[in-house]
């Protein structure tokens, strides 16, 4: 086993009351791929900050290999003092790092590098921070929710990039499929302590359930043992003559252990408020279209959504998912075509822009709209504290301002408010963001078993596979296609083809920044080649020449009439290598031709 690059041992941290971390451990060696999992508020982000050196624990030992480089992705990056995103990203590079890597990363993360940090949306800022920590290819990458605000194509690119990386990885994420694909070990932070499984996240849930069942059995066994000892103290013959002090001491120890046991955290109780049944037809869209300037967002799209359907919208950021969703629900009128909504519709909507929550409001005020101490759920009046407990909030948090909640707690709070509204149509835009695994599982059960109709936008492939009955996905040029089944079913129907890369999709629906109103048509693209395109034009001819030379050599080898008889295995390998080189050359030639045509077009315009 490789020596550790980073070790945390016996970490203790308390913010008053019950310790947040109580003897937690974490170790990362070269090649490790660790998923750090646990409930919202369990201290995962805090443990990662301790590993990064941003927080000092009250007790415990920390070892960081002196020569090891560590990069940490926070949930809220600080970009103050940088004129552009490129300057921010390049500031993380060392003297020996590849100076072209920031451009490569920014391009795949949907940024040019010329953006001003103070004009970025929250999602764009996180993507810039991700580029910054990955650019130097450090020894250890500590990533806190790296997939937030990324579209499916970019998440899949990130998986491949991390799997190719030589960096040790410790990652926190709510995206179960992402964790399954990048992790080879799992650390579970539970009630202040950590347990480690030397298998990836795919094996976590079964392992966790086994531990909790064994713990419950042991606690029950301890309770029965205490009852037996108490009976002996009261009625045993020896006890009536003289107390056995040793057994009395053991009983006191058992009582203390039993009372001090921190049971497993409770589960959220997520139930949607039922409304009267809608008509059988919920939404009918006929040949709807929407454009911004010359860019077609939706073109000639038709669908019929009926009661009980659960429809997922997927696609790259900027493909127009939110635009299509708003047209289907009647919030936005199409340029052409028609949308007909069914009868008796009562809609409850979860907006992905959670900044709309007033941070000064208390939890109770937010859930009740400032009207008293009760909420109406399924026609019944409930005290707000009782309803909060269904979503794992404590009674003393009723007067807590929203600004003091973690990202996961805020997500649960917004979900609690949406689901308290009577509805027969749930419209959920990125509902899984920041939810812990257990709450995600319960939301999944709610959506899958909801008696009404659900339309949701999500980048969580596992969640989509477990909940929806059909997928609507972009096919380029404003065309959208509906597929039966979940995300994996959609890929199978597309012949395994993944969603188109973001670079091939127009981006008029980016989040509005300070200089642009929401929904406003984008500015014309900059009429010049990007740094990456210029670099490719300069270097591709040399690369093509090298590949052509390699092809000529392989062809000469194969031309030898005795080659196959002399070494059949080597002959087959040479054939395979030649095919690979020819395909690579064809791709390079196609890329060079497109760039050359683009350069000529820009020079003439």
Digit-coded pLDDT (tens) for 498-536: 665 433 333 333 433 433 343 443 334 445 677 677 777
Which range (73-87, 335-349, 370-384, 584-598) has the least confidence? 584-598
Which range (20-24, 189-193, 248-252, 293-297) has the least confidence? 248-252
Average pLDDT over residues 382-400: 85
Using alpha carbons, select from 452, 494, 501 the residue that is nearest to residue 476: 501
* pLDDT number for residue 58: 94
Answer whether 22's CB lies under 8 Å from 42's CB.
Answer: no
* pLDDT number for residue 435: 76
Answer whether 388's CB lies under 8 Å from 398's CB.
Answer: yes
**How open is the CA angle 500-505-511, to the nearest 5 degrees?**
120
Answer whether 134's CB lies under 8 Å from 105's CB.
Answer: yes
Which range (140-154, 213-227, 231-245, 388-402) has the least confidence? 231-245
Gap between the Cα atoms of 364 and 361, Å rounded: 8
User: Percent of the chain at pLDDT above 70?
Assistant: 82
Using alpha carbons, select from 32, 68, 62, 66 the residue that is nearest to residue 50: 62
* pLDDT number for residue 431: 84
Gap between the Cα atoms of 10 and 461, Å rounded: 36
* pLDDT number for residue 520: 42
Would you state the structure tokens that stand for residue 588, as one six-digit string?
Answer: 């390079």
Banded pLDDT at 604 (limits 50, 70, 90):
low
Bridge partners of 292, per DSSP, are: 295
Banded pLDDT at 75 (limits 50, 70, 90):
confident
93 pLDDT exceeds 60? Answer: yes
Helix 101-108 / helix 122-134 crossing angle, nearest 10 deg: 150
More confident position, 178 or 511: 178
Average pLDDT over residues 65-74: 94
Would you state the structure tokens that stand for residue 203, as one six-digit string?
Answer: 């094996």
Answer whether 457's CB lies under 8 Å from 283's CB.
Answer: no
160 pLDDT exceeds 90? Answer: yes
Which range (103-112, 321-330, 556-565, 589-598) has the least confidence? 589-598
Gap between the Cα atoms of 570 and 554, Å rounded: 12
Gap between the Cα atoms of 300 and 480, Å rounded: 8
More confident position, 341 or 597: 341
Edge to edge, the sheet with strand 281-292 lists 295-306, 281-292, 336-341
Gap between the Cα atoms of 20 and 60, Å rounded: 14
Highest mean pLDDT among 255-259, 331-335, 380-384: 331-335
Q: Phi, psi at residue 436, to the nearest 5°?
A: -75, 170
* pLDDT number for residue 35: 97
Average pLDDT over residues 177-196: 94
Banded pLDDT at 255 (limits 50, 70, 90):
low
Coil, strand, or helix at residue 340?
strand
Digit-coded pLDDT (tens) for 423-439: 889 898 888 877 777 77
Answer whether 260's CB lies under 8 Å from 319's CB.
Answer: no
Gap between the Cα atoms of 533 and 529, Å rounded: 6
Which range (156-160, 389-393, 580-584) has the least confidence? 389-393
45 pLDDT exceeds 60? Answer: yes
226 pLDDT exceeds 70? Answer: no
* pLDDT number for residue 353: 57
Bridge partners of 285, per DSSP, are: 303, 339
* pLDDT number for residue 512: 37
Banded pLDDT at 540 (limits 50, 70, 90):
confident
User: Percent of the chain at pLDDT above 90?
Assistant: 36
The DSSP bridge pattern shows strands 140-144 and 425-429 to be unpaired
12 pLDDT exceeds 70? Answer: yes
* pLDDT number for residue 196: 96
List Cβ neighbours of 95 (8 Å cut-off, separation of 6 or more).
none
């Amino acid at each position: 086993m490789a020596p550790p690059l980073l070790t945390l041992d016996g970490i203790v941290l308390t913010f008053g009351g019950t310790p947040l971390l109580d003897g937690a451990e974490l170790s990362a060696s070269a090649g490790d791929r660790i998923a750090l999992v646990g409930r919202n508020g369990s201290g995962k982000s805090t443990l990662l900050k301790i590993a990064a050196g941003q927080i000092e624990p009250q007790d415990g030992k920390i070892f960081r290999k002196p020569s090891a480089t560590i990069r940490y992705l926070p949930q809220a990056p600080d970009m103050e003092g940088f004129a552009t995103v490129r300057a921010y990203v390049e500031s993380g590079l060392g003297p020996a790092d590849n100076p072209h890597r920031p451009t490569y990363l920014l391009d795949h993360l949907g940024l040019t590098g010329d953006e001003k940090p103070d004009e970025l949306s929250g999602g764009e800022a996180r993507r810039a921070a991700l580029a910054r920590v990955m650019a130097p290819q450090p020894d250890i990458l500590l990533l806190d929710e790296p997939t937030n605000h990324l579209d499916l194509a970019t998440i899949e690119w990130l998986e491949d990039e991390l799997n190719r990386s030589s960096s040790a990885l410790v990652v926190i994420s709510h995206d179960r499929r992402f964790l399954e694909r990048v992790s080879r070990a799992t650390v579970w932070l539970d009630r202040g302590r950590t347990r480690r499984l030397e298998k990836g996240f795919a094996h976590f849930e079964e392992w966790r359930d086994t531990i909790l069942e064994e713990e419950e059995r042991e606690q029950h066994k301890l309770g029965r043992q205490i009852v037996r000892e108490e009976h002996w103290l009261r009625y045993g013959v020896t006890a009536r003559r003289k107390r056995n002090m040793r057994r009395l001491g053991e009983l006191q120890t058992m009582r203390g252990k039993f009372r001090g046991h921190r049971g497993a955290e409770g589960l959220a109780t997520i139930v949607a408020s039922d409304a009267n049944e809608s008509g059988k037809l919920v939404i009918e869209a006929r040949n709807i279209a929407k454009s911004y300037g010359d860019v077609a967002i939706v073109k000639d799209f038709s669908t019929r959504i009926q009661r009980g359907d659960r429809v997922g919208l997927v696609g790259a950021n900027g493909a127009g998912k939110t635009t299509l969703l708003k047209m289907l629900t009647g919030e936005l009128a199409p340029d052409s075509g028609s949308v007909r909504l069914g009868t008796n519709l009562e809609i409850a909507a979860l907006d992905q822009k959670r900044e709309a929550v007033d941070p000064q409001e208390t939890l109770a005020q937010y859930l009740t709209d400032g009207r008293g101490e009760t909420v109406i759920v399924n026609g019944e009046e409930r005290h707000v504290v009782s309803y909060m407990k269904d979503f794992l909030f404590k009674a003393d948090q009723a007067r807590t301002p929203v600004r003091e909640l973690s990202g996961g707690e805020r997500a649960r709070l917004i979900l609690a408010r949406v689901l308290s509204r009577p509805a027969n149509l749930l419209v959920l835009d990125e509902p899984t963001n920041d939810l812990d695994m257990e709450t995600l599982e319960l939301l999944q059960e709610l959506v899958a078993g909801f008696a009404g109709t659900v339309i949701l936008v999500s980048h969580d492939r596992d969640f989509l596979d477990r909940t929806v009955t059909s997928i609507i996905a972009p096919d380029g040029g404003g065309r959208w296609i509906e597929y039966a089944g979940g995300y994996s079913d959609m890929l199978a129907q597309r012949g395994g083809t993944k969603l188109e890369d973001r670079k091939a999709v127009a981006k008029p629906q980016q989040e509005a920044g300070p200089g642009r109103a929401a929904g406003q048509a984008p500015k014309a693209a900059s009429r010049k080649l990007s740094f990456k395109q210029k670099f490719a034009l300069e270097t591709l001819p040399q690369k093509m020449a090298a590949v052509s030379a390699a092809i000529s050599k392989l062809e000469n080898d194969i031309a030898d009439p005795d080659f196959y008889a002399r070494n059949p295995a080597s002959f087959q390998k040479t054939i395979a290598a030649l095919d690979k080189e020819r395909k690579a050359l064809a791709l390079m030639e196609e890329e060079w031709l497109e760039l050359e045509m683009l350069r000529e077009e820009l020079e003439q315009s």
